Amino acid sequence: MTSLARELFRHSLETLQDKLLKMGALVEEAIFKAVRSLAERDLDLAREVVEGDDVVDQMQQEIEMESLELIALQQPMAGDLRVLGTALKITTDLERMADLATDIARITIRLEGQPLIKPLIDIPRMAEIARSMLREALTAFVERDPELARRMVERDHEIDHLFKQVFRELLLLMMEDPRNITQGTYLLFVAKYLERIGDHATNLGEWVIYMVTGERLELNK
């Protein structure tokens, strides 16, 4: 590449990375708002999350197209190619996370503001860990820091542990009183969605490690 072409390529790569970060920030907000809407039975907030999903989908398509275009036109190698490959993978995980957040918001809407069978404690905690993993993954991506990525994926165990706890608790509530079953099932779904969000966040970490070191690690065991 000539130095001008090189400069243009750099610029495109930076723009793409910014777009990816923006998408990540939107997903973080969607997770936060979805769980907040559930805890506070805030239907308006839930609808906001559902409507906001279109923007995330749109961004995913743009990132995919731009990455593919850069690969086709610039034929990057080594590190640059890995960045673009990572962008393609990360955007898919982010889009899935946003979908799961939307699913949680839909459950808020379906519960129609009825009082919860238990105060939510572990579920917001799961969401908080998932959000912080997402944020750390994005930071690791910006900083090109595989160590930060490695540390963040360890936190997925906490989410898995909380999921088991929520599962047992809800099961007991449903056995105690069959009237709890409808809501109990919905809340189980929410916990499962958050557990999946945690898994996707782990994937982000793995991809950042790959991007920086070229090694593929399976951290999600």
Partner 1 sequence: MNPGRLGRISSRKVGERESGIPESCPWVVLSRFADELEEAVLLFGREGRLLWANRMALHLFGEGVKPGASPIEASLNYAFSEAVEEALAGKRVEREILLLPAERWVKVVALPGEEVWVVARDVTPERRLFEMRDRFLAQAAHELRTPVGAIAGWAETLEELSPEEVGEQRELLSHIRREAQRLGRLVEDLLQLSRLRGREVALLRRECDLGRLAREAVERFRKRFEEKGVELFLESPSPVYASLDADRVARALDNLLDNGLKFTPPGGRVTVKVGEEEKDLVVLEVEDTGEGMTREEAELAFEPFYRGRRPGAGAGLGLAVVKEVVEAHRGRITVRSSPGAGSAFRLEFPRWSPI
Which of 1, 5, 8, 25 touches partner 1 (CB under 8 A)? Answer: 25
Is residue 29 a contact residue for partner 1 (CB under 8 A)? yes
Is residue 132 a contact residue for partner 1 (CB under 8 A)? yes
Is residue 172 a contact residue for partner 1 (CB under 8 A)? no
Is residue 24 a contact residue for partner 1 (CB under 8 A)? yes
Is residue 176 a contact residue for partner 1 (CB under 8 A)? no
The CB-based long-range contact list for 66-73 (8 Å cut-off, 24+ gap) reads: 66/12, 66/15, 66/16, 66/19, 67/16, 67/91, 70/9, 70/12, 70/13, 70/16
**Alpha carbon 92 to its chain's center:** 10
Cα 157 to Cα 16, 195, 201, distances in angstroms: 31, 10, 12
Whether the CB-CB separation of 220 and 199 falls below 8 Å is answered with: yes
- Binding residues for partner 1, rule CB under 8 A, total 19
Is residue 178 a contact residue for partner 1 (CB under 8 A)? no
Smallest separation (angstroms) from partner 1 to the CB of 105: 16
Burial class of residue 80 (count of CB atoms within 10 Å of its CB; 0-12, 13-18, 19+): middle
| Residue number, 119 or 178, with CB nearest to partner 1 | 119
Is residue 22 a contact residue for partner 1 (CB under 8 A)? yes
Q: What are phi and psi of 171, to 5 degrees?
A: -60, -45
Is residue 180 a contact residue for partner 1 (CB under 8 A)? no
Is residue 158 a contact residue for partner 1 (CB under 8 A)? no
Smallest separation (angstroms) from partner 1 to the CB of 32: 6
For residues 21-51, b (16+ Cβ closer than 10 Å) or e, as one string?
A: eebbebbbbbbbbbbbbbbeebeebbebbbe
**3-class secondary-structure state, position 115:** coil
* Interface region with partner 1, contact rule CB under 8 A, candidates 16-24, 70-78, 106-114, 164-172: 16-24
Is residue 139 a contact residue for partner 1 (CB under 8 A)? yes
| Residue number, 48 or 160, with CB nearest to partner 1 | 48
Which of 5, 65, 73, 121 touches partner 1 (CB under 8 A)? Answer: 121
Binding site for partner 1 (CB under 8 A): 14, 18, 21-22, 24-26, 28-29, 32, 119, 121, 128, 131-132, 135, 138-139, 142
